[in-house]
Structure 1
Amino acid sequence: MGRPRTPLLDRRRIGAAALKLADEQGALSIPALARSLGVAPSALYYHVTGRDEIIALMREELILTSDLSPDPSQPWDRALEDWARSYRDAFAAHPGAVPLLAVAPLAEPFMHAMYERVAGLLLDAGFAGEHVLPLVTALESFVLGSALDLVAPSVMLSGVDREAAPRLSAVLDQGSAGGGRAERAFELGLRALLTGFRALLGEPPPRDAAAPAEPEAAR
Structure 2
Amino acid sequence: MAKKDQESPGGLPEGVAIAWGLRERPGRGPARGLDVRRIVTAAIAVADAEGLGAVSMSRVATQIGVSTMALYRYVSGKDDLLTLMEDEAVGLPVPGPDPAEGWRAGMEHWARSYADVMARHRWMVRIPISTPPLSPHSVMWMEQALGYLRHTGLDGEEKLGVLITLNGYVRSHSSLVADIAEAGWDSEAEPEKAELRYWQLLSELTRTGDFPAIRELLGSGEVQDTNDETGTAEFDFGLAVILDGVAALVARRQNRS
Q: Common fold, TM-score beyond 0.5?
A: yes
**How many pairs does the alignment contain?**
197
CA contact (8 A) 2:40 2:88 kept: yes
Report how far residue 68 of structure 1 moved: 3.7
What percent identity do the matched residue pairs reach? Answer: 28
Report how far residue 70 of structure 1 moved: 4.7
Output one character per residue of 1:76-133: Cα deviation in whole Å (capped at 9) or x when no partner: 1101001111110011011022211x51433223322331232232132221211122
2:245 equivalent to 1:196:
yes
User: What are the equivalent positions in structure 2 for 1:44-55 lying under 5 Å apart?
Assistant: 44-55=71-82
Kindly report structure 1 stretches of 4+ aligned residues shifted beyond 4 Å: 69-72
Give me the whole-angstrom Cα distance separating, in 1, the residues matched to 2:130 and 2:39.
17
Report how far residue 52 of structure 1 moved: 2.8
Note the aligned Cα RMSD (angstroms). 2.7
Give me the whole-angstrom Cα distance separating, in 2, the residues matched to 1:183 and 1:124.
30
CA contact (8 A) 1:19 1:97 kept: no
Larger Rg: 2
Aligned to 1:131: 158
Bigger mean CA deviation after superposition, 28-37 or 153-162: 153-162
Give me the whole-angstrom Cα distance separating, in 2, the residues matched to 1:113 and 1:52.
22
2:59 equivalent to 1:17:
no
Give me the whole-angstrom Cα distance separating, in 2, the residues matched to 1:32 and 1:169.
49
Aligned to 1:117: 144
Aligned to 2:104: 77
Bigger mean CA deviation after superposition, 172-181 or 29-38: 172-181
2:82 equivalent to 1:37:
no
Q: For residue 201 of structure 2, what is the amino acid of its counterpart?
A: G
CA contact (8 A) 1:84 1:139 kept: yes
Which of 153, 157, 163 lines up with 2:208 in the alignment?
163
Give me the whole-angstrom Cα distance separating, in 1, the residues matched to 2:65 and 2:201.
46
Give me the whole-angstrom Cα distance separating, in 1, the residues matched to 2:104 and 2:123.
29
CA 1:17–1:169 in structure 2 vs 1: closer, same or farther (change >3 Å)? farther
Give me the whole-angstrom Cα distance separating, in 2, the residues matched to 1:157 and 1:45.
50
Give me the whole-angstrom Cα distance separating, in 2, the residues matched to 1:40 and 1:158.
52
Report how far residue 37 of structure 1 moved: 2.2
Q: For residue 39 of structure 2, what is the amino acid of its counterpart?
A: I
Give me the whole-angstrom Cα distance separating, in 1, the residues matched to 2:83 and 2:103.
29
Bigger mean CA deviation after superposition, 151-160 or 118-127: 151-160
Q: For residue 161 of structure 2, what is the amino acid of its counterpart?
A: P
TM-score by length of 2: 0.66
User: What are the equivalent positions in structure 2 for 1:84-95 lying under 5 Å apart?
Assistant: 84-95=111-122
> Secondary structure at 1:56's aligned position in 2?
helix
Aligned to 1:180: 228
Q: Which runs of 5+ in 1 are unaligned?
A: 204-219
Report how far residue 16 of structure 1 moved: 2.1
Give me the whole-angstrom Cα distance separating, in 2, the residues matched to 1:95 and 1:158.
27
Give me the whole-angstrom Cα distance separating, in 2, the residues matched to 1:137 and 1:55.
21
CA 1:168–1:81 in structure 2 vs 1: closer, same or farther (change >3 Å)? same
Report how far residue 200 of structure 1 moved: 0.5
TM-score by length of 1: 0.77
